[in-house]
Amino acid sequence: MHVGDFHLTYCSNIHPGESWKETFENLKRYIPQVRQNLSWEGAFGIGLRLSHEASLELQNPENLKAFQQWLESANAYVFTLNCFPYGSFHHTRVKDQVHQPDWTTRERKEYTIRSFRLLAELLSSGQEGGISTSPVSYRYWFPDKKSTEAALETAVQNFAGVVAELEKIERETGKYLHLDIEPEPDGILENSDEMIWFFQDWMIIKGAEYLYSQYGFSLEKAKELIRRHIQVCYDVCHFAIVYEKPEVTFEKFAKAGIKVGKIQVSAALQVKLEQDRDAIRNQLAAFAESTYLHQVVGRKMDGDLVSYSDLPEALEQLDSAVENEWRIHFHVPLFVEKYGQFFSTQSQIVEVLEYLKQNPALCQHLEVETYTWEVLPTDMQVRLDESISRELSWVLERLI
């Protein structure tokens, strides 16, 4: 949906299904319902989640043409893809495997380039397009500095290969595309400092050298292409979990020369530990489900942070925890601020939207990303089209 300077959508990773047939059927079912619920008459933007399997199938000219025809008939358009999860994302144990294959692999690079080629086919003339992706890998797969640096060396080459492809696409089609790296808790990149470190110390130096040696770009041109095509996906939930203030983070990225390609509008679960610990444990148990990782970051009174790799681990240590607050990687509905004795980080979203209205050049792409409806506690679940509509409506009210 085009709202002033912004394109707003929801991410279709909320819908189960890995094949293109399942993906397309979900779009045909839910986009008209959500449009009707919102009484939205203009073009409807789509944040498309393409799995590896679906991307292979959408390459089929008949599938691609049928989708393009449907987009035209439905007055809908695709401007962003979510290519963080490569494989199964629902009805199975995902956990840390959401990063697999990671950016050390040829599979991740080829899947991303394939998805960019499809996005270039789908993108309207004059509209920029972006793809959000994994923050290199999962940090616990690399137990020491040596293994982490080896992973980064390979990842930089793969990222640089994508940059070269995006330069080629733009030269041939005139369409501007960017890869939006999405920091998250326990990713190799999990906060703004690590994103800036990777961008400046790895991509701008080693990535540029690789583009020079392998693709023949001058070092200055290579750095220019990296700044143009490698951007950040700012997931509000993820940055709230690590206690970053939106305005400070956006200014840090600007100073470092990193563009914000996409903002994923999402909320984390917030727990004040001054309350009765048994009551906290009883209510949190409903959120400790087995599909996704729900990393927990606690903050002490002195500001120091304590990290837990998943909610069950945090619950085991709840009685001895010395933090006064936990923030939990569980994407909860945007439109609810309080859950029993818990809260959401909804206020961070409000801060982001207010900042955007004052600084509209920051980012064009906004994507609501609450993919956890199936695993929410039963008393928090509502009909899917209604939940999507309520979230988009909540954002629209604060964006206009």
Q: In Å, how far from its chain's centre is CA 306?
A: 23
Give the separation between CA 80 and CA 356, rounded to whole angstroms: 18
Helix residue ranges, H only, the chain: 20-38, 52-58, 61-73, 106-122, 145-173, 192-197, 208-215, 219-229, 236-241, 246-256, 277-284, 311-316, 346-358, 384-399
pLDDT per residue as tens, the chain (400 positions): 888 889 999 999 888 888 999 999 999 999 999 999 999 999 999 999 999 999 999 999 999 999 999 999 999 999 999 999 897 755 566 678 788 999 999 999 999 999 999 999 999 888 999 999 999 999 999 999 999 999 999 999 999 999 999 999 999 999 999 999 999 999 999 999 999 999 999 999 999 999 999 999 999 999 999 999 999 999 999 999 999 999 999 999 999 999 999 999 999 999 999 888 999 998 888 888 878 899 999 999 999 999 999 999 999 999 999 999 999 999 888 988 888 888 999 999 999 999 999 999 999 999 998 866 565 667 666 677 888 999 999 999 999 8
| First and final C-alpha spacing in the chain | 12
Q: In Å, how far from its chain's centre is CA 170?
A: 24
Give the separation between CA 320 and CA 272, rounded to whole angstroms: 15
Radius of gyration over every alpha carbon of the chain, rounded to an integer in angstroms: 20
Three-class SS state of 372: coil
